[in-house]
């Protein structure tokens, strides 16, 4: 197959580990590869840059530096706020909280520490500063449909029921 271009749907299975500690951080479920449309920014840049050079069935370990993943850990993203802004929340160190960014998008922060007077939150991504190791297998590659390109996301196989495709057993979450 030729090089993978933009607007291709790639399905891949993976296991993600912290390169330094070897701790498994995430993995795709057996039989449920992750699908994304190339060129849309759906996955971290360092991983996509390697995946688009692969072919169906290929296995590769991809090492991704923080700069090509979730960024370097930034002390500027650790901020303290008055405790009253968190009234009614039973706080725990390490718990995720969700807020609204200046652009209106939802952001996740983590409670770093707290006292009776203030709460310190960490706005860094939990994987910021980590070098990541992905054990990747390419399951399939196909051209994205016009609808997928326009919508910017992979369409569920549920759209194919009755057309020879689809999940059949209800495993795709569509209830068919």
Whole-number Cα distances in Å, 149 to 54, 88, 152 = 21, 43, 5
Secondary-structure breakdown of the chain: helix, strand, coil percentages, each rounded to the nearest 5: 15, 35, 50
Closest by Cα among 152, 157, 83, 88 to 121: 83
pLDDT digit of tens for each residue in the chain (176 aa)? 456 889 999 999 999 999 999 999 999 999 999 999 999 999 999 999 999 999 999 999 999 999 999 999 999 999 999 999 999 999 999 999 998 888 888 888 999 999 999 999 999 998 999 999 999 999 999 999 999 999 988 986 544 433 333 333 333 333 33
| CATH of span 75-122 | 2.40.10.330
Instruction: List strand residue ranges (DSSP E) for the chain, in order.
Output: 8-18, 24-27, 34-37, 59-64, 78-82, 96-100, 106-114, 118-122, 132-143
What predicted TM-score, i.e. pTM, was given to this entire model? 0.76
CA distance 37 to 48: 10
Q: Which sequence spans correspond to the domains of the chain? A: 8-69+128-153, 75-122
Residues 102, 105, 108, 111: is their CA dihedral positive or negative? Answer: positive
Answer whether 121's CB lies under 8 Å from 110's CB: yes
**Hey, do 8-69+128-153 and 75-122 end up sharing a CATH topology, with the first three levels equal?**
no
Q: Which fold has domain 8-69+128-153?
A: Chitinase A; domain 3 (3.10.50)
């Amino acid at each position: 197959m030729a090089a993978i271009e933009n607007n291709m749907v790639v399905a891949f299975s993976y296991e993600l580990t912290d390169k330094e500690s070897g701790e498994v951080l995430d993995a795709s479920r057996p039989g449920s590869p992750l699908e994304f449309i190339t060129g849309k920014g759906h996955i971290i840049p360092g991983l996509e840059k390697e995946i688009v050079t692969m072919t169906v069935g290929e296995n590769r370990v991809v090492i991704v530096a923080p700069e090509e993943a979730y960024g370097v850990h930034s002390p500027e993203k650790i901020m303290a706020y008055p405790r009253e802004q968190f009234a009614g929340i039973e706080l725990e160190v390490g718990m995720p909280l969700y807020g609204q960014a200046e652009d209106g998008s939802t952001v996740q922060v983590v409670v770093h520490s707290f006292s009776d007077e203030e709460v310190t939150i960490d706005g860094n991504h939990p994987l910021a500063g980590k070098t990541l190791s992905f054990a990747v297998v390419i399951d399939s590659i196909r051209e994205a449909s016009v609808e997928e390109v326009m919508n910017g996301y992979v369409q569920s196989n549920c759209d194919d029921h009755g057309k020879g495709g689809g999940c059949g057993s209800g495993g795709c979450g569509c209830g068919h």
